Amino acid sequence: MTRVLVIAASSFIGRHVCDSLTRRKMQVYRTRRSPNDDSYLACDLTDIDSIAAALNISQPEWIIQCGAATSSRDLRELYQTHVFGTANFLEAIEQHAPTARVLLMGSAAEYGSLPLEWLPLTEDRLPRPSSVFGSSKLAQSELAQAMAAEKKLRLVSIRPFNVIGPGLPEIYFAASLSKRLRAMLSDPTSPREFEVTNANATRDFVDARDVAEACVALLERARFEPGTCDIFNIATSRETTLLEMATRLGELAGSLQPRVGGEHQSRGGISRSAGSFEKLQRTTGWQPQIHWSASLNDLWNEFASRNDR
């Protein structure tokens, strides 16, 4: 039975990763920054001693690091978590689990706004982040590659594109719009139309459950040579407009109609996005299984139960 340590196991992606591992009957150790019950180990990326303690208790063969400051725009917090937190994490691994296979959670935001003719983006494209979040994630990836080489660690870093599905936090478009449409449904005086800004912007939406399966596939089948940190996109290679997603959510809400609004600067400063999953497929055989429309269905239904609790 493989022993797996999942950092930030209660996060959006972390929960789906744990589900995937549990289905495979693996021995899963979960961490949270501040555990509220005995099912989690304490682990704070800014505290190297807490990382070491979690490693010593779990003695993992695999480690999946899902922790990130996804909701922050504060430069210092982003770099404290993604760069200094990664330094703590990898130093602790060198001391306490040097032969473990380690998967780090990067981001498609590392690529930034690249020429449209390069879509879908491959891992060999030179990143040009257009947000502080993307910059901090790229710094994380570069640090991981340097530390892997220097300390002979066995690392992989993934770059998921726009992850959706049940449990999606409300800071993201699909969950935020779901909340807005549910509020409209509960108000009989509300109009039947809703505005969508940046309606023609595109994203590569990949389901969180597919991301979790990709993580496990990489840990099972990637090489993890000592001294390396290989990078893999997790994507669908498909562009979907925000208007298409809004239209589907309007249908799920019951004939609410989107109206094209104005253009505003997005969180990541990116107008169109799609990633290639060819390298991941070649390495593991993985390919996306859940279409974005099915992800939205599950998100909408889960959102209803979330707000009823």
pLDDT digits (tens, 9 = 90+) for 242-292: 999 999 999 999 889 999 998 876 666 789 999 999 999 999 999 999 999
What confidence score (pLDDT) does residue 268 get? 65
Backbone angles phi, psi at 57, to 5 degrees: -70, -45
Please report, for residues 111, 126, 174, 272, 274, the alpha-carbon distance to residue 115 in angstroms, rounded to integers and kept in the order given: 11, 11, 26, 10, 12
pTM of the model: 0.96
Q: Is 94 helix (H, G, I), strand (E, B) or coil?
A: helix
What confidence score (pLDDT) does residue 50 get? 97
What confidence score (pLDDT) does residue 280 get? 98
- State what percent of residues in the chain have pLDDT above 70: 97
Cβ pair 14, 6 in contact under 8 A = yes
Q: Which residue has the higher pLDDT, 68 or 189?
A: 68
Measure the CA–CA gap between 1 and 3, rounded to whole angstroms: 6
Measure the CA–CA gap between 173 and 299, rounded to whole angstroms: 12
DSSP state of 126: P
